[in-house]
Amino acid sequence: MTAMQREEKIRCDACPVMCFIAEGKSGACDRYANDSGKIVRLDPLTILDRRLAAGDQVKPFLGAGWDGGFDQSDKMFVTAVGAGTTYPDYKPAPFIISREIDGIDFVTVVTEAIFSYCGVKVKIDTDRHLGKEGATVRCNGETVGLMITSEYGSQMLSLGGVDHLTGGSKQEGRTTCDTLKRLCNKEAVELSIDGGATITVQAGKAPIVNGVVEKRMRVGCGSATIGMFASQWKGLVNEVVVVDDHITGVVSEHQAGKVIDWPETGIKIKGRRSTPGRYFQVAEPGLGWGGTDIQDPLTILGEWNPKKGARPGLTLLMVSTTGDQFAYFELNEELQPQAKPLPPTLRPTVDLITENCEPALCTILFMGGAGGSLRAGATKNPVKLTRSVQAQHTAVSCGGVPAYVWPGGGITIMLNVLNLPDNAFGYVPTPALVAPLEFTVSRADYLELGGHESAIRSIAEAVETGSEYGANSQFIAPGANSLLARDDDDC
């Protein structure tokens, strides 16, 4: 590249990559561009208007219906979506907004934070076995996280983290960053689990397990199901077994059955007996009945005992914890279960299990450590901001959504991405995730923290003057970046 060609480009300092960007093109992050020799921010700054009805709370500037008015600034909240970063972090945040709420002057420090220490926790509602705890989770063949615990009707993944972003190969880091960004922006991502399933997850949508869309999470374990519905079965069937990978329930032995005087049946379950009517490890985990690997529920039964009530004609209902699988049997003269059609009187009891199951969904929680030098964009003495957050004097939000702040040292935040405005997350190719971050504190406390008093502006002033990257960067309509080609040279 010649010196003259280099001079036609300008350098962006919004992140550590420091791209050289040609006229009409965007940097490697697709968030900043060269517009007539100036670096501008492509995404619109987003303001929450709390006067609007639920479900219509987010309006970017130039959005439909925006009247430009700020007559009720206590109802307006400038988010960090589209605000720009503090990098290099010796300078004040792009927007430090003053507004009065209930007669008190508050300051909100608005910046897009660059997170190397971040990840997502994924909750997947499913009765299927996805993989063993600790199993590696991959996207496009690259390691991006691991399986963690199974919860009540759900299984959990932990994805991302600094070790995957920067501690492995370049491709691992890039894939991890892309996976996190897409999940946080509510996009669908296909993941594979070593020794387990292939799943597609998307915030607020049903998981897809090995190509099958999950419809519901289980009503509870087998024992809980019996506790809820034992009285519904009394008088309609002689025995009920609720098949579950965790706790399989047997109504005649269960305390719920004892309370309503359910007689013994002489049934034998092959699993490990925990307490009466509750059995562990009746089968291996899998995609079959109740999250087990079985397709024939009779495989978990042993020999029936006539001395404890087994007799020809005894009826048996076997059902899963979602009601998706069920079968009805009668014992013959040899006390062998024989499949029979489900009696119409029992159908409503199976349907009741299904009715009590909640829809299967994926939940994506963003989690990150909001420490480091970004705090210098808020105050000249960063530790004061940390301590103010820990003391709950300073509120933390992301895209206008209150964040949960973990106890202990630092500022470790977590929030449900489904509550954020669309496309709230970006990235830098270092690689790291970029997330909106706002700190709100009373003006008096802000000044006590050593805040950047000279950078405080009203909402109207912020709109008038924009940020460091030019007032126009705050008013480019959504989708404008699609008109620009990305300049990968020297990035």
Is 432 within 8 Å of 367 (Cβ atoms)? no
Shared domain check, 320 and 257: yes
Q: How far is CA 198 from CA 164, 212, 213, 289, 301, in A?
A: 20, 10, 12, 19, 31
What tens digit of pLDDT does each residue of 398-418 get? 998 999 999 999 999 999 999
Identify the domain containing residue 136 by its residue range.
118-213
Of 141, 180, 188, whose CA–CA distance to 159 is shortest?
A: 180
* CB-CB contact of 434 with 114 (8 Å): yes
Confidence of residue 17 (pLDDT cuts 50, 70, 90): confident
Residue 477: the pLDDT is: 28
Q: State the DSSP string of 311-348.
A: -TT-EEEEEETTSSSEEEEEE-TTS-EEEEPPPTTTHH
Query: Can you list the positions of beta strands (E) in 229-268?
Result: 239-243, 248-250
Give the per-residue pLDDT at 32. Answer: 85
- The more confidently predicted of residues 59 and 418 is 418
Q: How far is CA 49 from CA 53, 62, 157, 185, in A?
A: 9, 14, 34, 21
Q: Which residue has the higher pLDDT, 47 or 212?
A: 212
Percentage of residues in the chain having pLDDT higher than 70? 88
Determine the average pLDDT of the residues in 307-336.
97
Average pLDDT, the chain: 87
- Name the least confident of 260-264, 357-361, 375-379: 375-379
Mean pLDDT of 327-348: 97
Same domain, 182 and 249: no
Higher local confidence (pLDDT), 489 or 318: 318
Q: What DSSP line would sit under 288-310, residue for residue? A: SGGGBS-S-GGGGB----GGGT-
How does strand 362-369 pair with strand 395-398?
unpaired
What residues contact residue 262 under an 8 Å CB cut-off, 6+ apart? 230, 234, 251, 252
Same domain, yes or no: 206 and 227: no
Top mean pLDDT of 24-33, 46-55, 430-439, 452-461 is at 430-439
Same-domain check for residues 202 and 298: no
pLDDT > 50? residue 478: no
CA distance 17 to 413: 25
Q: Which residue has the higher pLDDT, 75 or 410?
A: 410
Identify the band that residue 472 occupies on the pLDDT scale cut at 50, 70 and 90.
very low
Rounded CA separation 146/159 (Å): 6
C-alpha 19/C-alpha 34 separation (Å) is 11
Closest CA to 352 of 222, 235, 229, 442: 229
241 and 337 belong to one structural domain: yes
Nearest to 286 by CA among 278, 298, 274, 294: 294
Query: To which residue do tokens 């509602």 refer?
Result: 125
For 45-59, 202-216, 257-271, 354-368, which range has the lowest pLDDT when averaged over its residues? 45-59
Based on its alpha-carbon atoms, the radius of gyration of the chain, rounded to whole angstroms, reads 29
In a domain, 375, yes or no: no
Q: How many CB atoms lie within 10 A of CB 434?
A: 24
> Residue 211 pLDDT more than 80?
yes
Q: Between residues 51 and 320, which one has the greater pLDDT?
A: 320
Q: Which of 297, 326, 355 is the last residue of a domain?
A: 355
Helices 347-355 and 222-233, packing angle to 10 deg: 140
On whether residue 10 sits in a domain, the answer given is: no
User: Span 51-77, mean pLDDT?
Assistant: 48
| Residue 122 in domain | yes
**Claim to verify: residue 251 and residue 178 sit in the same structural domain:** no
Element (H, E) at 463: helix 459-465
Position 444 scores a pLDDT of 94
Alpha-carbon dihedral 201, 207, 209, 213, rounded to 10 degrees? -130
Query: pTM of the entire structure?
Result: 0.85
| Tens-digit pLDDT profile for residues 165-205 | 999 999 999 999 999 999 999 999 999 999 999 999 999 99
Query: For the stretch 66-83, what's the b/e string if a residue is b when 16 or more beta carbons lie within 10 angstroms of its beta carbon?
Result: eeeebeebeebbbbbbbb
Examine the domain organization and report whether 200 and 275 are in the same domain.
no
How many Å apart are CA 178 and CA 184, to the nearest integer?
10
Any domain includes 344: yes
467 strand-pairing partners: 470
Kindly report which listed range (297-301, 433-437, 481-485) carries the lowest average pLDDT score.
481-485
Distant-in-sequence, close-in-space partners of 65: CB < 8 Å, separation ≥ 6:
59
**341 and 253 in one domain?**
yes
Question: What's 358's DSSP letter?
Answer: P
Query: Where are the alpha helices (H) located in 210-337, listed in sequence order?
Result: 222-233, 255-259
For residues 264 and 197, membership in a common domain is answered with: no
How many domains are contained in the chain?
A: 2
Do β-strands 46-49 and 272-273 pair in parallel, antiparallel, or remain unpaired?
Answer: unpaired
Which one-letter DSSP state was computed for residue 446?
A: H
Please give the share of the chain, as a percent, with pLDDT higher than 90. 68
Q: How far, in Å, CA of 154 to CA of 217, rounded?
A: 7
What does the pLDDT read at residue 237? 98
The per-residue pLDDT for 62 is: 35
Kindly state whether residue 32 falls inside one of the protein's structural domains.
Answer: no
Q: What are the two backbone dihedrals, phi and then psi, of residue 415, each rounded to the nearest 5 degrees? A: -160, 160
Q: Assess if residue 92 is contained within a domain.
A: no
| Per-state percent for the chain, helix, strand, coil, to nearest 5 | 20, 35, 45
125-144 per-position pLDDT tens digit: 998 899 999 999 999 999 99
Q: Do residues 226 and 349 share a domain?
A: yes
In this structure, the answer to whether residues 176 and 255 fall within a common structural domain is no
- Tell whether 75 is covered by a domain: no
Query: pLDDT tier at 24 (50, 70, 90 boundaries)?
Result: confident
465 — pLDDT class (breaks 50, 70, 90): confident
Same domain, 226 and 351: yes
Last residue of a domain, one of 315, 338, 355: 355
Is residue 335 in some structural domain? yes
Residue 119 C-alpha from the chain's centroid: 10
Instruction: Grade residue 89 by pLDDT with cuts at 50, 70 and 90.
Output: confident
Q: Where among 190, 213, 236 does a domain terminate?
A: 213
Residue with tokens 């894939």: 175
